[in-house]
Structure 1
Amino acid sequence: MNVLIMGAHGQVGQHLVEELKNTGKHTPIAFVRKEEQVKEFENAGVEARLGDLEGSIEDIQERMDGIDAVIFAAGSGGSTGDDKTLLIDLDGAVKVIEATKARNIDRFVMLSAMGAETRERWSDELKPYYVAKHFADMWLEDSDLNYTIVRPGMLENEDAKGKVLVKDTITDNDIYSIPRADVAKVLAATIDNENTYKKAFEVVTGQDSIEDALTNL
């Protein structure tokens, strides 16, 4: 499959591009917002398409030629304000969902956040972020797309461990974090794993291989 990665230049996105490129099972295509990022990916042998999540649905659609699946791994980042969280994490996600539907692309994988589905689990300092994730996830679930929603715990910049715990909801575990590299591996593994279709789940570092964890969902 040709997989369009929204937020390909982000921390998880870069891991995901490398994961897909190295495994060779699917072809990553990077969606980025700066010309220098396009050149960076092209120099690494990865096709990149210039676009803006704050642009129109029609503009996003135009970047979807030849795409078989979409992974939304974009985010406004911790250094921006609540306005950008709404514009990128919520409205940007919804526009990509609508563009995907308009192009008759069926497969959509969403990078969300642990606890996004339950208001009681939202921290006060990150509440706008959780609001954005909550409603973007709901929009996807109501879209009729063949979705998977991946909700990782606290993201860490460590080497991939390749061992995870996957459950609908994780509230009784000693570990609530996961390396970004492992999140990328999980996202990649869901693309054509039928056991993840039309499902949302949380993931943290655990004891199971990613393949086994997804198979046992």
Structure 2
Amino acid sequence: MANVLILGAHGQIAQLATKQLLNETKHDLKLFLRRANRLNVTDAKRETVIDGDVLNAAQLDAALKGVDVVYANLGNAQIENQAKSVVAAMDRAGVKRLISISTLGIYDEVPGKYGKWNHQMLDGGYLETYAAAAKVIEGSDLDYTIIRPAWLSNKNVVSYETTEKGEAFKGTEVSRKSIADLVVKLINDPSQHIKASLGVDQPGTDGDKPSFY
């Protein structure tokens, strides 16, 4: 059993991962988010909801007490500063294991027409900030795994494959449930994919763009 801190716990993937962790494991969860009243607790013995901002060092330091694994489901224009804050706080707390959600394309690893389409959709402040955040994490001494999902769907399916940093990205889309499942697997076995950056897609979704575009 582990103590898991979920940053950005109101995010769709984070909520799916929380549900799966409660159903399939015995881990205790700290759910950290702004405006904490947005979350409904289903197991008060295992869920602790924390109203906080990852850019607030004192709030983050308090949340990290007794934590074994941090899962960061963050994402906005402040993602680079959020990454810096999380890395610094984990260093202060002596917590090593970080699982962090990023996005495809931060290494210009998406090939062909899909890669060009992805740039057209995400250039101009999005890919750049996520790439900068990943660089912060990769430059740390943490035991991190960065997850780079394909374009996300709400399909009720768990089906995914991974690629490593330096390999061409596969596929165009993946379900949020699949990403949540990968997060849960990493929490259950935190020795997997240390200092790795994983591209994640649903097999058989190759194309010029996702099916829902």
Question: TM class, shorter-chain normalised?
Answer: 0.7 to 0.9
Deviation at 1:49, TM superposition (A): 0.9
CA distance in 2, matches of 1:198, 1:172: 18
Deviation at 1:100, TM superposition (A): 1.0
Deviation at 1:124, TM superposition (A): 3.6
CA distance in 2, matches of 1:193, 1:100: 16
Structure 1 portions without partners, runs of 5+? 77-84, 208-217
**Residue by residue, what CA displacement relative to the aligned partner does 1:39-82 show, whole Å, maximum 9, x if unpaired?**
x33355321111013x3323311221211110111223xxxxxx
Matched AA of 1:137:
A
- Which of the numbers 169, 172, 181 marks the counterpart of 1:185? 181
Q: Which residue of structure 2 aligns with residue 82 of structure 1?
A: none
Structure 2 portions without partners, runs of 5+? 205-213
Task: Sort the Cα spacing of 1:104 and 1:153 in 2 relative to 1 into closer, same or farther, 3 A.
Answer: same
CA distance in 2, matches of 1:62, 1:195: 27
Aligned alpha-carbon RMSD (Å): 2.1
CA distance in 1, matches of 2:192, 2:36: 37
Q: Give the TM-score normalised by the residue count of structure 1.
A: 0.80
Q: Give the structure with the larger helix fraction.
A: 1
Answering whether residue 65 of structure 2 is matched by residue 68 of structure 1, we say: no
**Percent sequence identity over aligned pairs:** 25
Q: Which residue of structure 1 aligns with residue 162 of structure 2?
A: 166
The alignment of Structure 1 onto Structure 2 pairs a total of residues equal to 192
Matched AA of 2:91:
K
Task: Sort the Cα spacing of 1:156 and 1:96 in 2 relative to 1 into closer, same or farther, 3 A.
Answer: same
Matches within 5 A, 1:1-217: 1-37=2-38, 40-45=39-44, 46-53=47-54, 55-76=55-76, 85=77, 87=78, 89-118=79-108, 121=115, 123-127=119-123, 128-161=125-158, 163-168=159-164, 171=168, 173=170, 175-191=171-187, 192-206=189-203
**Residue by residue, what CA displacement relative to the aligned partner does 1:114-150 show, whole Å, maximum 9, x if unpaired?**
1212288561442211111111111111110011111
Q: Report SS of the residue matched to 1:75.
A: coil
Q: Report SS of the residue matched to 1:41.
A: coil
Task: Sort the Cα spacing of 1:160 and 1:28 in 2 relative to 1 into closer, same or farther, 3 A.
Answer: farther
